[in-house]
């Protein structure tokens, strides 16, 4: 954020375009992606796919997501309303789009890739309270927009990318995103024309009663963008199936965008096809042409690797059914990274995965068998609170006893410890103190969490090392004594019970380096019974699937 001296300089004029030290115009180029007509139009897929394909040309990209909500970050958002909270290595809790960026760019991101209105306003008000605006009234223009521009220029200096790709959340016309848009208009003005490329992702309606595509809503959406002083350079028309040339022409004439820069992006079977499509349509070349840059010699993502990965998606030779338990089963986006990890790991084993959602609130020892009879494996994902946990524990017991592959992630790991304590150690009242005070709190709060009251950004968050024990399943899969995985939790295995759990056959095959925090558990004499205190799904990427997911799917295939 804007530093003190820069701020003093910047407050003296009306431009307030403070640039961080070391910044030079033209060194980093910008692509700004906006959406019109409807939200959920596929801006995220387009943005991440474009980043992917630019890396084929060796260009270093830095994706940024702007989110208009007033939350500081996504940490306190309910996944049932908003979809999964994704966690970055530096502990940033963010929008699930950042997960798509990481998977499609095959790179790890940080807080510098995510900006909310809440974060900007907090910064500004903190500064105002410190008197840093030197008596000036603090305004949306130039201060809020200045802070936004500063954020992205800072990324240019600190990360040195060839291109910063900004995705502005929401739809053109939203009040809460309007100052992001204004900031990007100012940026284009200040950076000069050839350094900024605007892309609008729009939607071409096809009302059932008419049975043909209609471009008016898209035209109006684009016009709203132009009314705000932004001339798009490329229009991406999303539609269910191909639109006619005449529709493209209408869009072109009404938006000043040459018809060869009006791209029709239809629905695909998988999002992994989209980079190939963009390459085919030469969108990368169009962008490079607009920005005046050339491809580099060495690629940053090998196109051949990507093509091979996509090819394999299309030739599975075995289908398996995987059960996912959980209380957010109504909104699949709540588990987006798990679904993606399964989807992008399966092609490596020529498998196709069908999901079975298991709502655990009604599961008990009598009906668990029926629920699980057709699955080849189950995943018990992360979660919070009491609802559905007894059903999860029943599912874990059933998969342990009946040798059904099991993968427990975070809360799923903790549930596995509770199940084992109850049914193998005989501690009938074993539980987590998150839901119940009990005589046998086998899962308890982390010591450093005891005093914390605020909910946002206070869990044990982000990437930590995991020391993997040799001669274990975890070691066999990771082939490494030390790995780095991502965490988001307040509770952990109560150290008082570790010895007894181990004596009774539970193996803690991954632990934290300095603290006594158990991070992976597994059982012998079972095809695959493994739980992680971390979210293995967050580090899994199409070109580097997490080995624990590969191992799990492999075990499920054998079960079939």
The values of phi and psi at residue 28, to 5°, are: -110, 135
Q: How far is the CB of 385 from ligand GLN (least distance, A)?
A: 7
Task: Quote the CA–CA distance of 319 and 314 in Å, as a whole number.
Answer: 13
Q: How far is the CB of 476 from ligand GLN (least distance, A)?
A: 25
Q: Which is nearer to ligand GLN, 151 or 411 (CB)?
A: 411
Token code pair at residue 120: 């900007």
Q: Which is nearer to ligand GLN, 93 or 162 (CB)?
A: 93
Task: Quote the CA–CA distance of 20 and 25 in Å, as a whole number.
Answer: 11
Q: How far is the CB of 437 from ligand GLN (least distance, A)?
A: 16
DSSP lists the bridge partners of residue 35 as 201
Q: How far is the CB of 493 from ligand GLN (least distance, A)?
A: 10
For residue 313, which of 546, 545, 107 has the smallest C-alpha distance?
Answer: 545
The values of phi and psi at residue 462, to 5°, are: 95, -165
Active site residues: 410, 535, 537
Token code pair at residue 339: 């679904």
Q: How far is the CB of 504 from ligand GLN (least distance, A)?
A: 23
Q: Who's near 201: CB < 8 A, 6+ residues apart? A: 33, 34, 35, 36, 41, 42, 43, 46, 236, 238, 265
Q: Read out DSSP for 359-396?
A: -GGG--TTTHHHHHTT-SEEEE----SSTTHHHHHHHH
Distance (Å) of CA 458 to CA 27, 144, 276, 422, 451 = 37, 27, 40, 30, 11
Task: Quote the CA–CA distance of 554 and 541 in Å, as a whole number.
Answer: 17
Q: How far is the CB of 502 from ligand GLN (least distance, A)?
A: 21
* Residue whose CB is nearest to ligand GLN in the complex, by number: 382
Q: Which is nearer to ligand GLN, 56 or 491 (CB)?
A: 491
Residue 196 is classified by DSSP as E
Q: How far is the CB of 392 from ligand GLN (least distance, A)?
A: 11
Under the rule (CB under 6 A), what is the footprint of ligand GLN? 382-384, 410-411, 434, 488-491
Q: Which is nearer to ligand GLN, 420 or 491 (CB)?
A: 491
Q: Which is nearer to ligand GLN, 31 or 339 (CB)?
A: 339
> Does residue 483 contact residue 477 with C-beta atoms inside 8 Å?
no
DSSP lists the bridge partners of residue 203 as 238
Task: Quote the CA–CA distance of 191 and 9 in Å, as a whole number.
Answer: 19
Q: Which is nearer to ligand GLN, 144 or 417 (CB)?
A: 417
Residue 14, helix vs strand vs coil: coil
For residue 303, which of 63, 163, 106, 165 has the smallest C-alpha distance?
Answer: 106
Q: Which is nearer to ligand GLN, 354 or 387 (CB)?
A: 387
Task: Quote the CA–CA distance of 196 and 26 in Å, as a whole number.
Answer: 9
């Amino acid at each position: 954020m804007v530093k003190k001296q820069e701020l003093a300089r910047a407050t003296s004029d009306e431009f307030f375009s403070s640039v961080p030290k070391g910044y030079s115009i033209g060194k980093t180029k910008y692509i700004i992606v906006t959406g019109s007509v409807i939200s959920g139009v596929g801006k995220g897929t387009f943005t991440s796919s474009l980043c992917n394909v630019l890396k084929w040309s060796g260009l270093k990209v830095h994706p940024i997501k702007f989110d208009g909500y007033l939350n500081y970050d996504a940490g306190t958002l309910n996944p049932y309303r908003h979809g999964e909270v994704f966690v970055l290595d530096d502990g940033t809790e963010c929008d699930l789009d950042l997960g798509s960026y990481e998977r499609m760019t095959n790179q790890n991101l940080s807080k510098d890739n995510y900006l909310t209105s809440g974060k900007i306003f907090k910064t500004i008000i903190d500064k105002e309270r410190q008197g840093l605006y030197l008596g000036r009234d603090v305004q949306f223009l130039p201060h809020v927009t200045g802070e936004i521009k500063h954020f992205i220029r800072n990324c240019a200096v600190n990360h040195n990318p060839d291109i910063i790709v900004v995705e502005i959340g929401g739809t053109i016309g939203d009040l809460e995103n309007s100052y992001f848009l204004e900031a990007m208009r100012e940026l284009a003005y200040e950076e000069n024309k050839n350094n900024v490329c605007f892309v609008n992702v729009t939607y071409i309606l096809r009302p059932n009663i008419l049975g043909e595509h209609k471009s008016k809503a898209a035209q109006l959406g684009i016009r709203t963008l132009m009314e705000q002083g932004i001339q798009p350079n490329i229009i991406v028309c999303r539609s269910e199936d191909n639109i006619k040339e005449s529709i493209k022409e209408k869009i072109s004439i009404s938006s000043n965008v040459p018809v060869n820069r009006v791209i029709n992006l239809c629905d695909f079977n998988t999002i992994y096809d989209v980079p190939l499509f963009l390459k085919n349509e030469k969108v990368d070349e169009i962008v490079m042409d607009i920005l005046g840059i050339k491809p580099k010699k060495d690629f940053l993502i090998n196109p051949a690797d990507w093509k091979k990965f996509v090819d394999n998606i299309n030739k599975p030779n075995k289908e398996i059914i995987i059960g996912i338990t959980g209380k957010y089963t109504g909104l699949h986006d709540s588990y987006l990274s798990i679904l993606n990890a399964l989807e992008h790991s399966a092609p490596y084993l020529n498998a196709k995965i069908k999901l079975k959602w298991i709502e655990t609130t009604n599961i008990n020892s009598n009906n668990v068998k029926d629920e699980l009879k057709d699955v080849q494996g189950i995943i018990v994902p992360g979660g919070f609170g009491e609802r559905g946990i007894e059903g999860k524990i029943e599912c874990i017991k059933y998969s342990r006893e009946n040798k059904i592959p099991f993968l427990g992630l975070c809360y799923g790991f903790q549930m596995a410890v509770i199940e084992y304590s109850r049914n193998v150690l005989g501690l009938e009242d074993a539980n987590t103190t998150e839901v119940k005070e009990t005589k046998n709190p086998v899962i308890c709060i982390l010591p450093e969490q005891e005093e914390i009251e605020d909910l946002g950004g206070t869990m044990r968050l982000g990437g930590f090392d995991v020391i993997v024990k040799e001669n274990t399943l975890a070691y066999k899969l990771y082939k490494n004594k030390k790995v780095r995985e991502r965490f988001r939790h307040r509770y952990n295995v109560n150290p008082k019970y570790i010895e007894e759990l181990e004596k009774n056959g539970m193996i803690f095959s991954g632990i934290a380096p300095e603290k006594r925090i158990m991070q992976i558990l597994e059982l012998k004499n079972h095809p695959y019974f493994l739980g992680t205190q971390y979210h293995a799904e967050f580090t899994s990427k199409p070109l580097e699937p997490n080995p624990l997911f590969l191992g799990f799917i492999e075990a499920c295939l054998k079960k079939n």
